[in-house]
Amino acid sequence: GQNIDQPTEMTATEGAIVQINCTYQTSGFNGLFWYQQHAGEAPTFLSYNVLDGLEEKGRFSSFLSRSKGYSYLLLKELQMKDSASYLCAVRDSNYQLIWGAGTKLIIKP
Amino acid sequence: NAGVTQTPKFQVLKTGQSMTLQCAQDMNHEYMSWYRQDPGMGLRLIHYSVGAGITDQGEVPNGYNVSRSTTEDFPLRLLSAAPSQTSVYFCASSYSENGDEKLFFGSGTQLSVL
């Protein structure tokens, strides 16, 4: 079957750096996405990786290794507003998105 | 642009009742979809549409119907509500730019079936 694994919850300190990992086993691969979801709100798009390597967007970076079925989202200079769930999703060979359950990130002052 | 407008935000139903969740987008996106989100699980695709007049089933379609008569609207119908359909529902639309398919989500509907 298809599977996306990410940690259920992580805690980090304001101003620090945190890395959220995502491993996947899917039938085919056509891109990996990261979304941010604040409590009670809709997910919003953060990043997209289809080739191996690091994509940087301001304080957020996303890395992909297709051979290892692995991605991570790196958040730098953490702010309290970064407290949210982070969803990893993979587009499979049928171009359908398979979603992880999300990682709840708690930022402490 | 309003983006994706989804109504209602909250709904309580009794078992066996039917209802329609409304979804409209003003971004001229061809692709629209409905997801449900349950605690401890990833988003699960219910139905999707790649354009007006075209719909298809996702991972968990049973108990739900959709139609797509216009590019803008994609309503989701619960035929006979069951407690297992208690969930948060999200409508989404998307475009593809250089393969980078960004989903734009509505604000969600929290549905409770008693």
Which residue spans within chain B are E strands per DSSP? 4-7, 10-13, 19-25, 31-37, 44-51, 54-57, 64-66, 76-78, 87-97, 100-105, 109-113
Name the band, by pLDDT with cuts 50, 70 and 90, for residue A2: confident
User: What mean pLDDT comes out for the span A51-75?
Assistant: 97
Calculate how close chain A gets to B80, using CA atoms only, in Å: 26
By Cβ distance, the residue of A50, A91, A99 closest to B42 is A99
pLDDT for A9: 98
* pLDDT tens figures, A68-99: 999 999 999 999 999 999 999 999 988 889 99
CB of A90 less than 8 A from some CB of B: no
Which pair of tokens denotes residue B23?
């979804």
The residue written with tokens 């953490």 in the block is: A78
Among candidates B40, B90, B102 on the partner chain, residue whose Cβ is nearest the Cβ of A42: B90
Determine contact: A3 vs chain B, CB below 8 A.
Answer: no
